[in-house]
Amino acid sequence: MTSTLTISHLTKSFGGVDALSDVSLSVASGERVALLGHNGAGKSTMMKIILGLIASDSGDISVCGASPGDASARSQVAYLPENAAFHSALTGLEQITFYMRLRGVDPKGALDLLARVGLADAARRRIGTYSKGMRQRVGLAQALIGQPRLLVLDEPTSGLDPVSRRDFYELLDGLAADGAAILLSSHALTEVEARTDRLLILSGGRMVAEGSLTDLRSEAALPVALHVTAMNGYTPDLMAAFPNAIQTGRGLYLTCPQQDKLATLARISEMRGKVADLEVIPPSLEDIYSHFSRRDGQ
Amino acid sequence: MISRILATARIEANISRRNRWVLIAVLLMVVFSLVLSAAGSAPTGAIGADRLSVVVASLTSLSVYLVPLVALLMSFDAIAGEVERGTLPLLLTYPVARWEVLSGKLLAHVAILILALVAGYGAAALIAIITDPEASAGLGALWRLTWTSVLLGATFLGIGYAVSALSRRASGAAGLAIGVWLGLVVLYDLGLLAAVVADDGGIFTTQVFPVALLANPADAFRLFNLSAAEASAAASGVAGAAGTIPLWQSLGSVILWPLLALILAAMAFNRVKS
């Protein structure tokens, strides 16, 4: 796979404060990559540098084989800003028609494009009358114009209801299948978990983790939680066997390191006459995310 | 390139139409032109000029104030508004150059200005031609007034864009635009007048004053139209100075100013961080 976006050793500071330090990453064609991080971790700054809106202090960036902000890069990159804003006096159709003309795309497809994001009925109404979610969809529609090779989406699903979010990720799947590279930032960890190929975690301007969720999970080596429910009256027996467990009503809550998971399970199954139920709870994405973003002294 | 400029011009025209700027500009020009042509119709016989030439002389004095005002009103929001709404960063990620954005806006605003000028001057001229059979003699002066008004408008559109790019907020740009209008169109002349009176025919009046008039786009516009017009006798104010400055100089200023203002606007816009 060819790399559509390559960043190496990117550094940017604002007035002496490092917004990004020595960040390297690449996004390949057809790949969906999620960028995670706290507010102020440097996500938006990095996106603006990729788009050529602000200049980097040092480091090399290649966007579709060009420098960020070059005419050729801009013609192949689509951007969805956080809180997409448009002129309130224009209709959705006029706004999209304008963006299509700027990209040299026949504006006849404007209505179809708005229909793809679920705005067919509102196309001829002024954007001033739209809800936040509808404005976000206008933003999404403009990012789909002209088959971009790289999509840079800054919190694309903020303001969207759960159904629209699902529709949105389906659109992304289609784009990625057609070979577009997608870099998106999000706070909604559970949704990027299922819908992206790779996660990047930025913390305090540094890249603290990178990989698939499985990779990150094993790298973090967070303890596994087990919830054991005792048969009637056997709770004290179980507590005696697992003195470190926390008792929760009839059940026990215990944790163990990843490598001891099977051994612990074996010990529990030895007591199968006393155990009513067993649940294994792997560390959640939130746990993994907190682990990586705190590791850096955040 | 052309298609991107035209796309920008179309969207700007739509915005101006929705914001009623088109209506406001046309109404302002028509109402003031009609009032002026009605008020200035009495002294025709005494001067011996045709009625249209007299109307053009009156319209010149009107346009010196009104055209810059309309142009600044249309342009102050052009860049500061985009910055404030947050629409500029997205626009700048599109394959469109900043000068193309500016050209598109200019095209739309100049078109609206032409519409307003043609409606205003046209209404006043129509009445003059209907009431005075000799009035067609003034058509040349009317044409001259129209195209110089467009250039004057373009100058103040450029100044408006520059002001808009230098302000962070649309409200700040509006205030600054009104300040520019007051300064260049009203106070500048008052200052010159005071200096001329104080100087009493000295070096300022003979050397500095003509240059100062040429250096101001509104004064150059008035000078050119008055010195080119046969009915200059009907005009007042700085018209006396019109005779002493060659026509080519005021024409040069009228033509150079829009270019200068637009270069200034482009430079200011290029400095705006996204």
Residue B169: how many CB atoms within 10 A of its CB? 12
Contact B49, B234 (CB under 8 A): yes
The H or E element containing residue A39 is none
Q: Report d(CA B131, CA B44) in Å as an integer.
A: 12
> What is the rounded CA–CA span in Å between residue B136 and residue B114?
21
Q: What percent of chain B has a predicted confidence (pLDDT) above 90? A: 53
DSSP three-state, residue A289: helix
Evaluate if residue B241 carries a pLDDT over 60: no
Q: Nearest CA of chain B to the CA of A192: how many Å?
A: 24
Closest Cβ–Cβ partner in A53, A74, A126 for B95 = A74
At B43, is the pLDDT very low, low, confident or very high (cuts 50, 70, 90)?
low
Distance from CA of A71 to the nearest CA of B (A): 6
A79 DSSP β-pair partners = A152
Residue A54 is given by DSSP the state S
Return the minimum-mean-pLDDT range out of B134-138, B155-159, B264-268.
B134-138
pTM (2 d.p.): 0.85
Q: Which of B7, B15, B85 sits opposite A101 (nearest CB)?
A: B7
| Cα four-point dihedral sign B89, B93, B98, B104 | negative
- Average pLDDT over every residue of B164-185: 92
B214-235: pLDDT as tens digits: 899 999 998 888 877 654 444 4
Which of A76, A100, A101 best probes binding to B when mutated, by most B CB atoms within 10 angstroms? A101
CB pairs A-B closer than 8 Å: 71
A8: phi then psi, degrees, rounded to nearest 5: -130, 130
What pLDDT is attached to residue B248? 83
Q: Which residue of chain A has the CA closest to B14?
A: A90
Q: Which residues of B touch A52 (CB under 8 A)?
A: 93
Question: Cα(B267)–Cα(B258) distance, rounded to whole angstroms?
Answer: 14
Chain A residues bordering chain B (beta-carbon distance below 8 Å):
48, 51-54, 71, 74-75, 77-79, 81, 83-87, 89-90, 94-95, 98-99, 101-104, 126, 139, 142
- pLDDT confidence bin for A82, thresholds 50/70/90: confident
Among A51, A78, A90, beta carbon nearest to B11 = A90
The tokens for A84 are 């997409």
Q: Which residues have a Cβ under 8 Å from the Cβ of B266 and sit 6 or more positions away?
A: B98, B99, B102
Report the residue of chain A nearest B19, measured CA to CA.
A89
Q: Is B105 helix (H, G, I), strand (E, B) or coil?
A: helix
Best of B93, B98, B103, B273 to mutate (most A CBs within 10 Å, chain A): B93
Q: Which two structure tokens, joined as six digits, stand for B124? A: 């006043």
Instruction: Tell me whether residues B3 and A86 touch, CB distance under 8 A.
Output: no
CA separation for the pair B101, B1 (Å, rounded): 10
Residues B77-96: tens digit of each pLDDT:
999 999 999 899 999 999 99
Cβ partners under 8 Å of residue A147, min gap 6: A178, A180
pLDDT tens-digit profile of A99-153?
Answer: 999 999 999 999 999 999 889 999 999 999 999 889 999 999 999 998 899 999 9
Q: How confident is the model at residue B36 (pLDDT cuts 50, 70, 90)?
A: confident
